[in-house]
């Protein structure tokens, strides 16, 4: 179902009221959808709104030993995880050795992960074939070819690659390729003294895994591997540079790629990636490519072989024996993120099948899973068509509010407004689950071959993307599985809200509408405005990379964005640790726009009537409380240190305080006065949308 924002506000109000009043059951939090017991009323809203809303909860709620964070959003993930566990446990109980049906394959995959005794006996044997290929790859060209298997096997790669919509020709797909090769979360971990402890632990971890796969001279080779990755880090682009969609769009033929980076064997790499026949690709960090290839060409072969052997072991570690899984946990989860205890096995099994994140590893959860199959089983039981229709209506309400706000902007010219509204009208709203399920009929899953299951699932997934490369772009495609607790604004000009995020405290049909507008509405608005943030605004109504802004409007936008960046760069989540206003720019703009739109949409939903007062709280107050409650939570210090250098999202306290102090209505709602810590003078507040 697609509609434009050009609804009458009266019809929007009627639909929103019907949606949010449809379920009369008791809300999950408090009597009206808000947990007031978690507040710290001793803290003034104007001094720290995040703690005012959640201070008591923060003080009383410890971070579980097997997690790096605790939050109401993570409670949503736990709920979904428990449901998936029930589904998989039941499916495993009746799954044959080599099932043919979807439920049986999900069950057999889960069963294979839970076969701990058998996995323990195998040790490193399941990855011996990959390691043997590395031992016999006695040239750099041969090793480069092995990197092409990165999307379908456990191999590491100097260059990451994938297939997505071509940003300058959105009716076709393109192959994108970017820098890779690092085992730590970001280049800063190799180059900044602040991360010396983590870098030393990483070298010890490299040696540990090389010992476990019986690689010769493990200690010396580990030192060489880290030194090699440090050289790669020195010539890699920063995360801030990588945010620029124009700078990272560099189309070229294969011949041009060879000329750009002649020190790398592209033919073998592309052949093993199943991409030998492509006529062109899009290079991201173009100035880094020749430097990365040159570093590779000068490195001793023994170092490159050890580097590849380590990355195979690292990528496969969660699926191997206890020695591997324990080492992986100590490095990725404990050292890099502060998690104190490994997750129990069934939770890791659920993640291996359905997709997710093994601690903070970026690769796991995206490779070798049956995520779409698990999502199909999950939504069939827990998210039916009726729920999907309700949320679609709420989403369209936010679209309507955004259209009105675009029309009324005082800083944007009519020409740019017309293009913006044209783009908004093209957005497809996708809620809950895809209309067309992924086909797993040709995938072989065995209940006693975990590493084989992961490998075959990865091969099938990559084959799916390669197989559609020459076909028309699928506008109904999803980039996030239904069970995911997140949302996104995609390259298809689509706003996607999976079933996994549509739970309390984000959305509760029994809650007060204002709470839902603050939480769900704020997140919906967040995703909407991503298409118009500092990078999204470079994509036009056809989905093409094109500058459709007047120079005057662009200058006004950039000035406002720069001021917002200055605000966020002043935030200090830990002593001496600052948020990067440049890295987090897009997400900060989206947060500010999202909550602003949510407030507008709530006002429209009232149909001209006054908002009710609940427990002494006005409607506007409850919208702000809903937003802040949705971000209630805390993380370990190690996670914060990782986040500020590698994550485009600001720490959660600033997703509250950094937003509300720029919204005029917040000052009126809570009586915030000059002299209070969050107070910003009216002429210094940032208003973008």
pLDDT tens across 476-518, in order?
Answer: 999 999 999 998 888 888 889 999 999 999 999 899 999 999 9
* Domain final residue pick, 277, 300, 323: 300
- Rounded to whole angstroms, the Cα distance separating 12 from 21 reads 14
* Residue 369 in domain: no
Whether 583 contacts 648, CB under 8 Å: yes
State residue 356's pLDDT score: 75
519 and 658 in a single domain? The answer is yes
147 and 266 in a single domain? The answer is yes
277 and 392 in a single domain? The answer is no
Task: Mark out the alpha helices in 500-636 (DSSP H runs).
Answer: 513-516, 522-530, 551-569, 585-605, 619-630
413 and 526 in a single domain? The answer is yes
269 and 418 in a single domain? The answer is no
Number of separate domains in the chain: 2
286 and 421 in a single domain? The answer is no
Domain harbouring 23, CATH code: 3.40.390.10
State residue 365's pLDDT score: 53
Burial class of residue 259 in the structure, from the number of CB atoms within 10 Å of its CB (0-12 exposed, 13-18 middle, 19+ buried): exposed
Residue 604 structure tokens: 């429209």
Place of tokens 């049986």: 104
* Residue 630 in domain: yes
* Domain final residue pick, 300, 330, 361: 300
Whether 421 contacts 403, CB under 8 Å: yes
| Angle, CA 548 vertex, CA 544 and CA 554 arms, to 5° | 130
- Rounded to whole angstroms, the Cα distance separating 285 from 150 reads 19
Q: Give the domain extent around 286.
A: 138-300
514 and 662 in a single domain? The answer is yes
Residue 405 structure tokens: 């706000």
* Residue 508 in domain: yes
* Residue 450 in domain: no
Crossing angle for the helix pair 619-630 and 49-60, to the nearest 10 degrees: 50
546 and 645 in a single domain? The answer is yes
426 and 540 in a single domain? The answer is yes
Buried b vs exposed e over 52-73: b needs ≥16 C-beta within 10 Å?
bbbbbbbeebebeeebbbbbbb
* Residue 377 in domain: no
147 and 39 in a single domain? The answer is no
Cβ neighbours of residue 121 under 8 Å, at least 6 residues apart? none
- State the chain's maximal CA–CA distance in angstroms: 76
State residue 359's pLDDT score: 45
Whether 107 contacts 354, CB under 8 Å: no
The CA–CA distances, whole Å, from 272 to 143, 148, 296 equal: 11, 5, 19
Q: Give the residues across from 635 on adjacent strands.
A: 69
State residue 577's pLDDT score: 95
- Rounded to whole angstroms, the Cα distance separating 672 from 678 reads 8
- Rounded to whole angstroms, the Cα distance separating 124 from 525 reads 48
State residue 366's pLDDT score: 62
645 and 552 in a single domain? The answer is yes
Whether 602 contacts 19, CB under 8 Å: no
Q: What is the mean pLDDT of each run of 10 residues along the chain (689 residues)?
A: 27 34 72 97 98 98 95 94 98 97 98 98 98 97 97 97 95 97 96 96 98 98 98 97 95 98 98 96 98 98 98 97 98 94 96 74 66 96 79 81 92 94 91 93 98 97 96 93 90 88 92 95 92 88 91 95 97 96 95 96 93 97 98 96 94 98 98 98 96
* Domain final residue pick, 274, 300, 326: 300
DSSP 35: -
* Residue 75 in domain: no
| Host H or E run for residue 178 | strand 169-179
Domain harbouring 241, CATH code: 1.10.1380.10
* Residue 275 in domain: yes
State residue 597's pLDDT score: 95
* Residue 217 in domain: yes
- Kindly report the backbone phi and psi dihedral angles of residue 491, in degrees, each rounded to the nearest multiple of 5, phi listed first: -70, -15
Tell me the pLDDT tens digit for each residue of 209-250: 999 999 999 999 999 999 999 999 999 999 999 999 999 999
159 and 52 in a single domain? The answer is no
**What is the β-pairing status of strands 280-283 and 494-498?**
unpaired
């Amino acid at each position: 179902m697609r509609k434009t924002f050009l609804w009458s506000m009266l019809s929007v109000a009627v639909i929103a009221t019907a949606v949010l009043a449809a379920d009369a059951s008791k809300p999950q939090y408090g009597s009206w959808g808000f947990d007031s017991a978690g507040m710290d009323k001793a803290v003034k809203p104007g001094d720290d709104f995040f703690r005012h809303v959640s201070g008591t909860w923060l003080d009383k709620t410890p971070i579980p030993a097997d997690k790096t964070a605790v939050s109401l959003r993570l409670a949503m993930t736990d709920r979904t995880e428990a449901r998936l566990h029930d589904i998989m446990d039941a499916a495993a109980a009746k799954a044959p050795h080599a099932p043919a049906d979807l439920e049986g394959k999900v069950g057999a995959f889960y069963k294979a992960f839970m076969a701990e005794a058998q996995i323990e006996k195998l040790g490193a044997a399941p990855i011996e074939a990959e390691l043997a290929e590395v031992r016999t790859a006695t040239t750099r060209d041969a090793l480069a070819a092995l990197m092409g298997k990165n999307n379908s096997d456990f191999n590491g790669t100097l260059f990451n690659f994938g297939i997505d919509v071509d940003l300058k020709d959105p009716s076709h797909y393109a192959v994108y390729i970017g820098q890779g090769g690092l085992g730590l979360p970001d280049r800063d971990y190799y180059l900044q003294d602040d991360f010396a402890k983590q870098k030393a632990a990483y070298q010890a971890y490299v040696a540990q895994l090389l010992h476990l796969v019986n690689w010769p001279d493990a200690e010396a080779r580990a030192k060489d591997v880290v030194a090699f990755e440090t050289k790669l880090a020195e010539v890699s682009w920063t995360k801030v540079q990588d945010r620029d969609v124009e700078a990272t769009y560099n189309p070229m033929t294969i011949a041009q790629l060879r000329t750009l980076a002649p020190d790398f064997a592209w033919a073998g790499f592309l052949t093993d990636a199943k991409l030998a026949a492509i006529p062109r690709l899009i290079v991201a960090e173009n100035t880094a490519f020749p430097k990365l290839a040159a570093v590779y060409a000068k490195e001793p072969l023994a170092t490159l072989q050890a580097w590849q052997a380590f990355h195979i072991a690292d990528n496969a570690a969660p699926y191997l024996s206890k020695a591997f899984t324990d080492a992986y946990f100590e490095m990725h989860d404990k050292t890099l993120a502060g998690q104190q205890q490994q997750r129990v096995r069934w939770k890791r099994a659920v993640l291996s099948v359905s997709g997710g994140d093994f601690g903070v590893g970026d690769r796991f959860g995206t490779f070798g899973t049956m995520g779409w199959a698990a999502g199909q089983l999950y939504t069939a039981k827990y998210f039916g068509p009726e729920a999907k229709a309700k949320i679609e209506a709420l989403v369209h309400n936010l679209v309507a509010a955004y259209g009105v706000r675009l029309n009324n902007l005082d800083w944007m010219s009519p020409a740019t407004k017309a293009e913006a509204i044209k783009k908004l009208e093209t957005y497809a709203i996708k809620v809950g689950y895809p209309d067309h399920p992924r086909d797993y009929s040709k995938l072989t899953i065995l209940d006693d071959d975990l590493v084989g299951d992961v490998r075959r699932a990865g091969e099938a997934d990559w084959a799916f993307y390669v197989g559609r490369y020459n076909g028309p772009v699928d506008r109904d495609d999803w980039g996030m599985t239904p069970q995911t607790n997140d949302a996104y604004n995609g390259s298809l000009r689509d706003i996607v809200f999976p079933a996994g995020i549509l739970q309390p405290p984000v959305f509760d049909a029994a809650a007060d509408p204002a709470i839902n507008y603050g939480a769900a509405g704020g997140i919906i608005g967040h995703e909407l405005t991503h298409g118009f943030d500092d990078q999204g605004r470079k994509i036009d109504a056809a989905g093409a990379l094109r500058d459709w802004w007047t120079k005057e409007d662009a200058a006004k936008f950039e000035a406002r964005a720069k001021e917002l960046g200055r605000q966020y760069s002043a935030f200090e989540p830990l002593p001496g640790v600052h948020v990067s206003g440049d890295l987090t720019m897009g997400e900060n703009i989206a947060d500010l726009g999202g909550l602003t739109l949510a407030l507008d949409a709530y006002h429209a939903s009232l149909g001209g009537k006054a908002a009710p007062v609940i427990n002494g709280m006005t409607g506007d107050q409850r919208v702000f409380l809903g937003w802040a409650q949705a971000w209630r939570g805390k993380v370990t210090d190690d996670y914060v240190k990782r986040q500020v250098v590698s994550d485009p999202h600001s720490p959660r306290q600033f997703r509250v305080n950094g937003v509300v102090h720029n919204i005029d209505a917040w000052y009126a709602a809570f009586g915030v006065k000059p002299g209070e810590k969050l107070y910003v003078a009216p002429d210094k507040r940032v208003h973008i949308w």
